[in-house]
Amino acid sequence: MSEVLEREGVEERAESIRMIRESAAGIAPRGGDRKRIRALRFKEPGFDPAVLRQMGEQGWIGLRVPESRGGAGLGMSEFCALAEEMGAALAPEPLIPAALSAALLAAPGAASGAEGPLDALLGGDQLVLTAWQEAAGMLEASGTADAARVFIPQAGGAQAFLVPVREGGRLSLRLQPREGADLTLEKTQDGAFYGTLRPAGGEVIAEDVGGALELALDEAALATAACLLGVMDQAFALTLDYLRTRQQFGKPIGSFQALQHRAADLKVQLALSRASVEAAAALLDGGADRAARRAAVSRAKARASDAAMLVTRQAIQLHGGIGYTDEADIGLYLRKTMVLANQFGPSALHRRRFAAEAREDEA
């Protein structure tokens, strides 16, 4: 009986993931409208608020939020599938950072002041971003009260910020409106913007979010690994298509054995990355303990970051000289990878964390 129930559960999850991928195709089709991506590059806020609102209406921002708080209550396997599609589409909308904020606003212990921002965020009507990072190469919130918060994705489109501040040995959460905030923006490689925010007061909406923020950052790191998987998967698909159609010496260049070997190596990297991401998502959905969760997330993020850099760089080389021009779409995938690879921890950080957290049978 238990085996039947387990099989039904697996089939139900597979169907849920399939439906999520299909719904993603309606808003951000895999390898779809790259003209839209080019039109938004380096133009504030760097994304389309109308598309973000559609994502909210589809329930994507609240995919991980419990149903009792207005979300969909789905698992990391579903969220990673969605993030992969967003990566393949090069979608600039800050879905993962928005989902991180939704997790904090819906966390147990959040005050009534969090309800309004949560509802507006889940519906995509307002963008609330979490300003947690104080320096490069980290995945923990120090919570220094007067320290600038850096690398806030797409901060120019936010209406408010969540600022974790350490008080009395705990991380409280403050809601700081965008209006009047000391915020500066800097362009990123992929045409988006990072923000630097200097905290200035704000309403305390949660007294202790340390545990919730740690979990939310891990989930954001894993979702970013899935996003990188989508980016490299689509870059690889475009490259294979180019190898099949580009003619040299009267035959497709994909028939040359040397290029076939390079393509095979890239496919292996893709397969290993997918296995790591899916295994980590399943582990989190199964309620893994803290050490196992951190090890699995770090293994997936380190592998996806390194593999995506390799795949997208090789994809440009396999396109030949045209691949190095800005007009070639394949370059958009490398630019996106260069940004995502360092979001929520670079591969070096995650390799160190995996070494520290992994059990001997995993190392």
| Residue 268 to residues 264, 310, 338, Cα–Cα distance (Å) | 6, 12, 21
pLDDT profile of the chain (363 residues), mean per 10: 62 87 89 88 96 97 96 97 97 98 91 85 97 96 95 97 94 94 96 96 91 97 98 96 80 77 94 98 96 97 98 94 89 97 97 88 53
Residue bearing tokens 């190095």: 324
Instruction: State residue 308's pLDDT score.
Output: 98
Distance CA 313, CA 324 (A): 10
At residue 168, the pLDDT reads 87
Confidence (pLDDT) at 249: 75
> What integer pLDDT is reported at residue 114 of this predicted model?
81
* Boundaries of every domain in the chain: 212-357
Alpha-carbon distances of 69 from 116, 187, 258, rounded to whole Å: 11, 35, 55
> What pLDDT was estimated at residue 9?
65
Q: Mind giving me the DSSP string for 97-161?
A: HHHHHHHHHTSTTB-GGGHHHHHHHHTTSS-EEE----SSS--S----TTSPEEEEETGGG-SEE
- Strands 160-167, 128-130: pairing is parallel
Does 45 sit behind a cis peptide bond, omega within 30 degrees of 0 on the bond before it?
yes
Tokens (6 digits) for 91 = 């979608």
Q: What CATH number has the domain spanning 212-357?
A: 1.20.140.10
